[in-house]
Amino acid sequence: MTIKSLFALLLLGGFATQLRSQSDERKELPLIGIGAGLTSFRGDVGASNTKTGGTFRTGFRFGIEQRFLSTLGAELYGVYGTMTVNERSSLFNRNFTTKFLSVGGGLMLNLDNDFILSRRATLAPYLGVGVMWMSFDPYGDLYDSKDSLYHYWSDGSIRDLPENSPNALSAQYLQRDYTYETRLTDSTNYKRSTMGIPLSVGTKFKFSRHMGADFRATYNITFTDNIDNVRFDRNDSWMFLNLSIYYQFNKAEEREKGSSGKDILNEDTDKDGVSDANDKCPDTPAGVKVDNGGCPPDKDEDGVPDYRDKEPNTPKNTPVNKDGVTTKLTQVDSLGNPVPDQNCIPEKFRAADKNTDCKITADEIDSVIDDFFDGEGDWTADKISELIDYFFEQ
C-alpha cells in the first residue's frame, strides 16, 4: 500500500460533531496492542553530555486496556528492551548496557470523551499515570577481544597500559569492540530491580471500529540510581517512544434487563415512548418526536427524517444522500423518475458509494474497511488500496 493510502487510513472517519450522552454509551470489551519503539536512558553515565554512538535502543511493548467510563480507563502492560549509553570525555570514560523488563499498570485519561472530542473521532489523545516494576542487569565493555583492559589516555587514545605506567612507552593502542562482557556491580551488591512511576501522553488513530495505531511517549521515573551502576545525586529515569497496533474487541451488546417476559416487552431503549417490541426506529435520539411506530417524521418522504434533513422540501422521488440533499441526476427510470447516474463511478467501486451521490467519501471508505474486517462483500486489500487512490483522484 502506498504512503498516500496509509495517510488515508489514518484520516478516515474525521471528527464527529454530534455529542453523545454518557448514558447512551455501550459497554466496551478490552483492546490489546503490540508494538515496538525506542528507549533512551537518563542517569549518571552520559550526564556530562558527551555521549557517543547514540543512546536510542529498541524496545517492545504489549498491553491490555479497558475503558470503564467516558473519560477513564485502565491498562496493564509489559515492556522488554535494551538501554545503552557510551560516555567519553576528559572527566569520564564510562559505558553500560542492560536488558530490562518493565511490567506495570495505571489509569488513563481519555480526551475522546464526548466533552473535549467525540468518542467517534479518528484522533483520540490521552494521558496516563501508573506504577511499574522493572528488572535490570547492567554490563560494561571493559576489555577488548583479547582480554586487554581499556586504559583511557588524556590524548584521547585507548591503550593496554595506564598512562602513568613505568612501561607507558611500550603501551599498545586498543580499540573498543563494543562487546559488553563484564557484569557491573559494586561493594553494596545492590538489588537489580526497582519500582517506578510511568507518565504517558499519546494519541490513537482509529483505522476502523476494531483496529488502530497508538503513538505513545512514556517517561519512567524509577526509585533507584543503580541502572547504570553509578550512584550520584539523583535516581535514574528513561524514556520510551513507541508505536503499537491495537485491536478493539466488539462492543458488548446491551443485554435485556428484567426478570419476566413482560419487562422485556415493555422496555424502551431509546426512551421515545414506544416499546422496543413495537419500535420500527429503535435508535431515535432523545428529544425527537416520533409517531406510533417510534419513527421520527419525514415530511418530504425522502427517507431522511426531518431532524437531520438538510434539505427538508426535496421533491418527491428525488434521490438524496444521507443528509437528505439532492444528488447528481443524469438519468430517469422507465416511469420517468430521476435516478443517479450509474456510470459516474467505476463499476468495481459502486458498492462503496453507499448514498449513491456519485462521490466516494472518507466515511464510505471507513465503512468499506469495516466490511473487509467483518468479512462482508468482496473487498480485498488491493481493491481497497485502489479505492483510496480513486478517492484522492476524483
CB burial of residue 111 (10 Å; 0-12, 13-18, 19+): middle
For residue 317, is it within any domain?
A: no
For residue 84, is it within any domain?
A: yes
> CA–CA separation, 251 vs 270, rounded Å?
18
Considering the domain architecture, whether residues 165 and 61 belong to the same structural domain is answered as: no
Domain that holds residue 289: 258-296
For residue 169, is it within any domain?
A: yes
For residue 338, is it within any domain?
A: no
Considering the domain architecture, whether residues 47 and 166 belong to the same structural domain is answered as: no
Q: Which amino acid makes up residue 323?
A: D
> CA–CA separation, 113 vs 133, rounded Å?
30
For residue 52, is it within any domain?
A: yes
- What's the confidence (pLDDT) of residue 134? 98
Any alpha helices (H) in the chain, and if so which ranges? Answer: 3-11, 261-266, 362-373, 381-393
Considering the domain architecture, whether residues 262 and 159 belong to the same structural domain is answered as: no
Considering the domain architecture, whether residues 203 and 266 belong to the same structural domain is answered as: no
The enclosing domain of 199 has a CATH number of 2.40.160.20
How far the first Cα of the chain sits from its last, in Å, is 19
User: In this structure, are residues 246 and 212 in contact, taking their beta carbons and an 8 Å threshold?
Assistant: yes
- What's the confidence (pLDDT) of residue 349? 81
Instruction: Read off the pLDDT of residues 104-124 as tens digits, 9 standing for 90 and up.
Output: 999 999 999 888 888 888 999
Considering the domain architecture, whether residues 242 and 102 belong to the same structural domain is answered as: yes
Q: Which amino acid makes up residue 387?
A: L
- How large is the angle between the packed helices 3-11 and 381-393, nearest 10 degrees? 80
CB burial of residue 372 (10 Å; 0-12, 13-18, 19+): middle
Q: What is the mean pLDDT of residues 374-381?
A: 81
Considering the domain architecture, whether residues 290 and 186 belong to the same structural domain is answered as: no
Neighbours of 117 (CB within 10 A): 18
Residue 373 has pLDDT above 50, yes or no: yes
For residue 228, what is its C-alpha cell? 547504570
Considering the domain architecture, whether residues 288 and 196 belong to the same structural domain is answered as: no
For residue 389, is it within any domain?
A: no
Considering the domain architecture, whether residues 112 and 53 belong to the same structural domain is answered as: yes
For residue 310, is it within any domain?
A: no
> CA–CA separation, 161 vs 91, rounded Å?
18
Considering the domain architecture, whether residues 199 and 278 belong to the same structural domain is answered as: no
Residue 394 has pLDDT above 80, yes or no: no
Considering the domain architecture, whether residues 196 and 166 belong to the same structural domain is answered as: no
Kindly provide the residue ranges of all beta strands, DSSP E only, lying in the chain, ordered along the sequence.
Answer: 31-42, 51-52, 57-67, 72-88, 93-110, 123-136, 139-140, 151-152, 158-159, 182-183, 193-206, 211-222, 237-248, 329-332, 338-340
Reported as a pLDDT band with limits 50, 70 and 90, residue 13 is very low
Considering the domain architecture, whether residues 42 and 167 belong to the same structural domain is answered as: no
Instruction: Read off the pLDDT of residues 159-183 as tens digits, 9 standing for 90 and up.
Output: 999 999 999 999 999 999 999 999 9
Number of domains in the chain: 3
Instruction: Read off the pLDDT of residues 288-331 as tens digits, 9 standing for 90 and up.
Output: 888 888 888 888 888 888 888 888 888 887 777 777 777 755 45
Rounded to two decimals, the pTM is: 0.58
Considering the domain architecture, whether residues 60 and 88 belong to the same structural domain is answered as: yes
For residue 349, is it within any domain?
A: no
Q: Of 76, 67, 155, 63, which Cα lies nearest the Cα of 110?
A: 67
